[in-house]
Amino acid sequence: MISFLDLKAVNNKYRHEMELAFSKVLDSGWFIMGEELKSFEEEFGAYCGTKHCIGTANGLDSLTLILRAWKEQGYLSDGDEVIVPANTYIASVLSIIENNLTPVLVEPEILTYNLDASLLEKHLSNKTKAILVVHLYGLMANMKDLCSFAKRNGLKVVEDCAQSHGASSFGTKAGAWGDAAGFSFFPSKNLGALGDGGAVTTNDEDLAETICYLRNYGSKEKYVNRYAGVNSRLDEIHAALLRVKLKYLDEDIEIRRNLAAIYNRDISNDGIVKPYEGGGDEHVWHLYVLRVADRDRFTHWLMKHGVATMIHYPIPPHKQKAMADFNKLELTITEKIHNEVVSLPLHTALTASEIRYVAEVVNSYCE
Ligand SMILES: Cc1ncc(COP(=O)(O)O)c(C=O)c1O
């Protein structure tokens, strides 16, 4: 059986260095907001090409805290609108709702599955204050057009980089294009911890400072609280483990690119739509996502031949019970994507021959 994701095998590569990192933290006796976090923030900020990086407890909190900080700074108020792709993972939308802001769901491009910059104009209102861009499945969104639209209209840009660590377009990395970006280090991500973790990257010093307060009960000085903040910190143990994995991130991305290149080359089946590859370093292949009309039949075929798959994602945010006010929206491209997508196995512990086998099984499927 080719598993969809084998995190034990993926992390085995770093086992020795992780054990050393774990022992170092254990021996230090210091577990929250210490030297490991400080070093990870410096190293990850440098990797992304931003002046500041602030560790948080998870990706959702990273996005939520960015918007919250802009509320504290008076840039955003309750009811302001934030444009967001309709086909994203629901966490992107939840960060907006959590802040009493209004998500404006915009259709993606059917080619890239990323936000369609040509549709922004018609969704603009006098309440629009920001665009939350998602680099879905690891492919950079069209940042040039999205950022220039935002600039023309005085909007902030938040990047949701939960799936795009290390991706770049025109020489600028994911996380360095917008006013701020939220990363997730959920275990399955391209840079994954052994538990939850997240970070904000930004070049905006004031924003970084406000988020530093907010993630720690609104305080930078013990028992002195400037804001009614939250507890959303990246633990020392996770920072230490992530420092190990960060050293190998580019190498791991290269492995993903090589495996995805085999799928791109070998899969040829008229009933299957392959993913857009992007140019240069735009894609880091967090997920390899196909589209197929009769998805259930296709996934059963793969399963019968020993290949596990997943769906990212089966139900779009606007059709979720949690978003009852949006249930009546008709978003045909988003709904088509959600009805047809299938993710194939792609991770750093898979071999080229396993990928070739999956491609063979995909090719043997007849509609
Ligand atoms: C696009 C996107 N945004 C945000 C998140 C939230 O990240 P986390 O699970 O760390 O809260 C995820 C996680 O799966 C995601 O895929």
pLDDT tens by residue, 242-296: 999 999 999 999 999 999 999 999 999 999 999 999 999 999 999 999 999 999 9
| Number of the ligand 1 atom closest to the C-alpha atom of 61 | 11
* Shortest-distance Cα residue to atom 15 of ligand 1: 162
* pLDDT given at position 66: 99
* pLDDT given at position 286: 98
- Which amino acid is it at 32? I
Is the distance from the beta carbon of residue 60 to the nearest atom of ligand 1 less than 6 Å? yes
Q: What is the mean pLDDT of the chain?
A: 98
Using the predicted structure, report yes or no on whether residue 367 has a pLDDT greater than 90: no
51: confidence class by pLDDT, cuts 50, 70, 90: very high
Is the distance from the beta carbon of residue 160 to the nearest atom of ligand 1 less than 6 Å? yes
What is the C-alpha separation between 286 and 163, in angstroms, rounded?
Answer: 6
* pLDDT given at position 219: 98
Count the neighbouring beta carbons within 10 Å of the beta carbon of residue 225.
14
Which of 82, 158, 159, 186 to mutate for ligand 1's pocket (most ligand atoms within 8 Å of CB)?
Answer: 186
How many whole angstroms from 194 Cα to the centroid of ligand 1? 15
Sign of the C-alpha dihedral computed for residues 60, 62, 67 and 72 taken in this order: positive
How many whole angstroms from 186 Cα to the centroid of ligand 1? 7
pLDDT tens by residue, 302-355: 999 999 999 999 999 999 999 999 999 999 999 999 999 999 999 999 999 999
Contact criterion met (CB below 8 Å) for 101 and 79: yes
Mean of the pLDDT values across residues 26-33? 98
| Number of the ligand 1 atom closest to the C-alpha atom of 63 | 4
Which of 82, 84, 89, 242 to mutate for ligand 1's pocket (most ligand atoms within 8 Å of CB)?
Answer: 89
pLDDT tens by residue, 156-197: 999 999 999 999 999 999 999 999 999 999 999 999 999 999
- Which amino acid is it at 119? L
Burial class (CB in 10 A: 0-12, 13-18, 19+), 353: exposed
Is the distance from the beta carbon of residue 162 to the nearest atom of ligand 1 less than 6 Å? yes
* pLDDT given at position 354: 98
The structure's pTM equals 0.98
Q: SS in 3 state form for 297-362? A: HHHHHHHHCCECCECCCCCCHHHCHHHHHHCCCCCHHHHHHHHHEEEECCCCCCCHHHHHHHHHHH
CA–centroid distance for 311 within its chain: 16
Is the distance from the beta carbon of residue 199 to the nearest atom of ligand 1 less than 6 Å? no
Sign of the C-alpha dihedral computed for residues 163, 170, 355 and 190 taken in this order: negative
Is the distance from the beta carbon of residue 362 to the nearest atom of ligand 1 less than 6 Å? no
Is the distance from the beta carbon of residue 179 to the nearest atom of ligand 1 less than 6 Å? no
Mean of the pLDDT values across residues 35-41? 98
Is the distance from the beta carbon of residue 183 to the nearest atom of ligand 1 less than 6 Å? no
Contact criterion met (CB below 8 Å) for 21 and 149: no
What is the C-alpha separation between 118 and 235, in angstroms, rounded?
Answer: 41
Contact criterion met (CB below 8 Å) for 252 and 347: no
Minimal CA–CA distance to 341: which of 110, 5, 77? Answer: 110
* Shortest-distance Cα residue to atom 13 of ligand 1: 162
Contact criterion met (CB below 8 Å) for 201 and 176: yes
Minimal CA–CA distance to 204: which of 61, 100, 75? Answer: 75
Minimal CA–CA distance to 358: which of 281, 235, 278, 272? Answer: 272
| Number of the ligand 1 atom closest to the C-alpha atom of 186 | 10
Percent of the chain with pLDDT over 70: 100
Is the distance from the beta carbon of residue 212 to the nearest atom of ligand 1 less than 6 Å? no
Token pair, residue 297, equals 């039949």
pLDDT tens by residue, 89-103: 999 999 999 999 999
pLDDT tens by residue, 105-127: 999 999 999 999 999 999 999 99
Mean of the pLDDT values across residues 136-155? 98
Using the predicted structure, report yes or no on whether residue 203 has a pLDDT greater than 90: yes
Token pair, residue 325, equals 């006010």
